[in-house]
Chains A and B, each alone.
Chain A
Amino acid sequence: MTRSILIAGVGGQGIILAGKVISNALLKSGYDVKMSELHGMSQRGGSVTSQIRFGKKTHTPLIEKGDADILLAFEKLEALRYIDYLSQDGTLILNDFEIPPMSTIVGGQTYPGEEMFDELNDKVESLVVLDAAEIAKENGNIRAQNIVLVGALVKALDLDKDIFEETIREVVPERFLEVNLKSLNSGWSIAKANEPKLVKA
């Protein structure tokens, strides 16, 4: 069966690198992997997604509404924006992190209030919430928040963590290796603690 991971966030949060780590690790795990990302205009501080599909044989790299087994949301507003992509029994991994868009600063729009996230909490059957930025900061570099979230994903999909560690060793430069490996494990542990809520994809 083909499984689908939708990563949603804001340009500059390290989404493309996260996608690269995930897709390379899935290849090492023996899956047929397809991944789609967008570059250029869409990247400059705008809403960004990266889509990964894997299984025995995978055709399209694109995920449709209602089909994502995991929605890996790097930012809260973006979680709301893409929640209709999550399948009924899919898992939302939510970074408890807000980046207010320009439209809420000068455009007269308002950032969604807590009640909307409470509602989200109620309607999603399986949820992992973590403050990846804070965790990454504690580990030594806020920029590793993407790998904290990847760690949670590895647990949520019950994938082999060792293979992800091996992939990070290949992809991440030496001087950032320790903080990234530590962050992968932090994310993994938090998702593990959430286990009762998890539904295997």
Chain B
Amino acid sequence: MPRTNKVIMTGNEGMARGAYESGATFASAYPGTPSTEILENLASYDEIYAEWAPNEKVALESAIGASLAGARSIASMKHVGVNVALDPFMAFAYTGVNGGLVVISADDPGMHSSQNEQDNRNLAPFAKIPMLEPSDSQESKILMKKAFEISEEFDTPVLFRVTTRISHSRSIVEKEERNEYKLKSYTKDPQKYCMVPANARRRRLIVEENMKGLKEYTNNFKYNRIEWSKSKDIGIITSGVSYQYVKEAFGDSVNILKLTMTYPLPEKLISDFCEKVEKVYVVEELDPYLETQIKAMGFDVTGKEIMPDIGELTPSIIKEAITGETKEKAHEGYDSLPIRPPIMCAGCPHRGVYHAITKLKGVVTGDIGCYSLGLAPPLSALDSVVCMGAGVSMAHGFKKVYEDNDIQDKPVIGVIGDSTFLHSGVTSLMNIVYNESNPTIVILDNRTTAMTGHQPNFAVGKNAKGGDAPQIQIDSLCRSLGIKNVFNVDAYDLEEIEAALKKGIDLKDEPAVIVARRPCVLLKGQKPSGQYAINQDKCTQCKLCLRIGCPSIQIEDDNIIIDEASCVGCSVCSQVCNFEAIEKVGE
């Protein structure tokens, strides 16, 4: 069989492959669905230095440094990660690059794994940075190579915008050889790279000048293309995954202007298209990003008047909006099935900590990670989940107001994971120390970045390439920031957790940090040993053990039982039981 270069890749793998073939040598990122596997794949190439940064701002700034040093570099993040990196993102538009630099924003329409569905295409005109949008894995690869070329030709970072359905869809990619990129020499140039006001004012003009060139370039960019149909009745302007939905809905029966460079927009091409077609629709997910700009060019197009600006599109939504044809149903669905939302795993070290926290009936400000799931019944432990680091900062704000108003009956507890704490909880904790509030902060240290698929973090001792790395000690870090009361506890030991929480809350004038440690049960070799079973003779059916929400504890023929296939023996249920009815198997 002849060797084929065609392989199935996710969009994330395609982008990484494109960066590899472009000769990129530096990559930095912070994990976040749906972007995580981009860096993981970049790290799999020996030729690329790839690292996990503590957060997206550091990732982008590091990539900027690498670009100035002359390397082709890349920073990848999810849409809300770009918020964290927005400061360097905006200023970097002015300084421009040395080696090409691409910033990937992986957006999440439909919010499959995110707290909002912001449309980051808006950031391209906002920052004055050109933007590319692929429609499948092959384009993810090809456009990544183009992105590096554009970056260098126009001395600008390039925003590479994808969505969940691009990142996590698999399609065919044709692999090509890597082109080694010769490191550009770096020349000191403060007028270009030092953005003090005098230089920034000069660069501001250069950015506009570059934009003129980009506007010309995008009109001739061959990946912005028109697919003409026989009839000129209907035309659709679209980009990204929406292009695939349009093709699915209409095949070759409508005229399509497929945009891949979506900032700046190819005005001439759009004008040609709109003038030749009778009725033009704009099909795009989320904001009327293309539509607003095309309308501002003076074209009478139809878009969000008939199509949703919330969530994902589908071929039938598009078809119904444009033709009025509704899709016929095959089998009737069921409305009232039991829901199955994501839950914390059997043996999850967060469960016992939350059980102890809920007993205190306080205010609990939560954060982003697997432990966000503590909000769900039966634990119902959280009052808020906003963004990375907010679990700590919001506890400070809450506590300050409660102190000022002498509200003392409700303790204020902030909860955050190890990776999230190092991402943006550290500065929040500094705020608690410096501005003297006294909430109790619980750091759920499960020795990994779990939700995104177990990436190592700064407290774990491994790096993105799998090698050994220095390890930040979270408890020592908290002490060095000025927290005097730091308690290390075992997340499976309820007595220890409850005692530490009590100590923390009883300290009226000082904040406390509790570091609850236990590795995530999904980490290799980290499962506790043994299993637990319910002694039916002792069980009073009080159902208290069901209140911890462990998927292993189930009801079978009116008895409460522990499913032996899934129980990992964490022992938390046995500590909750008041009747010693939950026993370790074999003891």
Contact with B along A98-123 (1 / 0, CB 8 A): 00111111110111100010000001
Question: Closest CB-CB distance, A124 to chain B, in whole Å?
Answer: 7
Chain B's closest residue to A86 (CB) is: B331
Chain B's closest residue to A32 (CB) is: B172
Contact call B168/A38, Cβ cutoff below 8 A: yes
Determine the chain A residues whose CB is within 8 A of the CB of B136 once the complex forms.
34
Contact call B554/A66, Cβ cutoff below 8 A: no
Determine the chain A residues whose CB is within 8 A of the CB of B338 once the complex forms.
77, 101, 103-104, 107, 109-112
Question: Closest CB-CB distance, A97 to chain B, in whole Å?
Answer: 11
Contact call A88/B377, Cβ cutoff below 8 A: no
Stretch touching chain B among A56-64, A146-154, A177-185: A56-64
A171 to B370, CA, bound (A): 28
Chain A CB within 8 A of B328 CB: yes
A77 to B136, CA, bound (A): 32
Determine the chain A residues whose CB is within 8 A of the CB of B329 once the complex forms.
65-66, 84
Contact call B316/A64, Cβ cutoff below 8 A: yes
Chain B's closest residue to A2 (CB) is: B248
Chain B CB within 8 A of A141 CB: no
Contact call B342/A112, Cβ cutoff below 8 A: no
Contact call B451/A102, Cβ cutoff below 8 A: no
Determine the chain A residues whose CB is within 8 A of the CB of B113 once the complex forms.
38-42
Question: Closest CB-CB distance, B513 to chain A, in whole Å?
Answer: 26
A177 to B542, CA, bound (A): 46
Contact call B170/A35, Cβ cutoff below 8 A: yes
A104 to B373, CA, bound (A): 18
Chain A CB within 8 A of B343 CB: yes
Contact with A along B343-378 (1 / 0, CB 8 A): 111000000000000000000000000101100111
A124 to B359, CA, bound (A): 49
A60 to B546, CA, bound (A): 42
Inter-chain contact count A-B, CB under 8 Å?
Answer: 183
Contact call A45/B342, Cβ cutoff below 8 A: yes
Contact call A33/B171, Cβ cutoff below 8 A: yes
Chain A CB within 8 A of B308 CB: no
CB within 8 Å for A105 and B33 given contacts A27-B8, A59-B247, A77-B340: no
Chain A CB within 8 A of B36 CB: yes
Contact call A124/B549, Cβ cutoff below 8 A: no
Contact call B551/A45, Cβ cutoff below 8 A: yes
**Among candidates B37, B328, B337, residue contacting A80 with C-beta atoms closer than 8 Å:** B337
A42 to B452, CA, bound (A): 10
Contact call B555/A105, Cβ cutoff below 8 A: yes
Contact with A along B317-345 (1 / 0, CB 8 A): 00000000001111111100111111111
A179 to B377, CA, bound (A): 38
A42 to B113, CA, bound (A): 7
Determine the chain B residues whose CB is within 8 A of the CB of A84 once the complex forms.
329-333
**Among candidates B8, B34, B36, B327, residue contacting A35 with C-beta atoms closer than 8 Å:** B8
Question: Closest CB-CB distance, A28 to chain B, in whole Å?
Answer: 9
Chain A CB within 8 A of B42 CB: no
Determine the chain B residues whose CB is within 8 A of the CB of A90 once the complex forms.
330
Question: Closest CB-CB distance, A178 to chain B, in whole Å?
Answer: 22
Determine the chain B residues whose CB is within 8 A of the CB of A59 once the complex forms.
244-245, 247-248
Chain B CB within 8 A of A36 CB: yes
A27 to B171, CA, bound (A): 9
Determine the chain B residues whose CB is within 8 A of the CB of A77 once the complex forms.
337-338, 340
Chain B CB within 8 A of A165 CB: no
Contact call A61/B165, Cβ cutoff below 8 A: yes
Question: Closest CB-CB distance, A38 to chain B, in whole Å?
Answer: 5
Contact with B along A1-37 (1 / 0, CB 8 A): 0000000001110000001100110010000111111
Determine the chain B residues whose CB is within 8 A of the CB of A19 once the complex forms.
170
Chain B CB within 8 A of A197 CB: no
A112 to B337, CA, bound (A): 7
Contact call A61/B170, Cβ cutoff below 8 A: yes
A40 to B377, CA, bound (A): 20
Chain A CB within 8 A of B553 CB: yes
Contact call A103/B345, Cβ cutoff below 8 A: no
A198 to B376, CA, bound (A): 42
A38 to B37, CA, bound (A): 12
A62 to B337, CA, bound (A): 23
CB within 8 Å for A34 and B331 given contacts A39-B36, A44-B342, A45-B343: no
A32 to B340, CA, bound (A): 33
Contact call A88/B330, Cβ cutoff below 8 A: yes
Chain A CB within 8 A of B184 CB: no
Determine the chain A residues whose CB is within 8 A of the CB of B334 once the complex forms.
80-81, 83, 112, 116
Contact call B343/A40, Cβ cutoff below 8 A: no
CB within 8 Å for A83 and B164 given contacts A64-B327, A106-B546: no
Query: Which of A39, A47, A110 is most buried by chain B, counting CB atoms within 10 A of its CB?
Result: A39
A60 to B247, CA, bound (A): 8
CB within 8 Å for A60 and B33 given contacts A39-B168, A106-B377, A106-B378: no
Query: Which of B331, B332, B378 is most buried by chain A, counting CB atoms within 10 A of its CB?
Result: B331
A87 to B136, CA, bound (A): 26
Chain A's closest residue to B110 (CB) is: A38
Contact with A along B295-330 (1 / 0, CB 8 A): 000000000000000000011100000000001111
Question: Closest CB-CB distance, B453 to chain A, in whole Å?
Answer: 7
Query: Which of A19, A58, A59, A83 is most buried by chain B, counting CB atoms within 10 A of its CB?
Result: A59
A83 to B331, CA, bound (A): 7
A186 to B69, CA, bound (A): 58
A112 to B565, CA, bound (A): 22
Chain A's closest residue to B317 (CB) is: A64
Contact call A100/B316, Cβ cutoff below 8 A: no
22 A-B interface contacts by CB (under 8 A): A23-B170, A33-B170, A33-B171, A36-B168, A36-B170, A38-B164, A40-B33, A40-B36, A40-B112, A40-B453, A45-B344, A59-B248, A66-B331, A81-B334, A81-B337, A83-B331, A84-B329, A84-B330, A87-B330, A102-B378, A107-B338, A123-B331
11 new A-B contacts at CB < 8 Å, known A65-B330, A77-B337, A105-B551: A37-B170, A39-B452, A39-B453, A46-B340, A66-B327, A86-B330, A100-B554, A102-B376, A102-B377, A102-B378, A103-B340
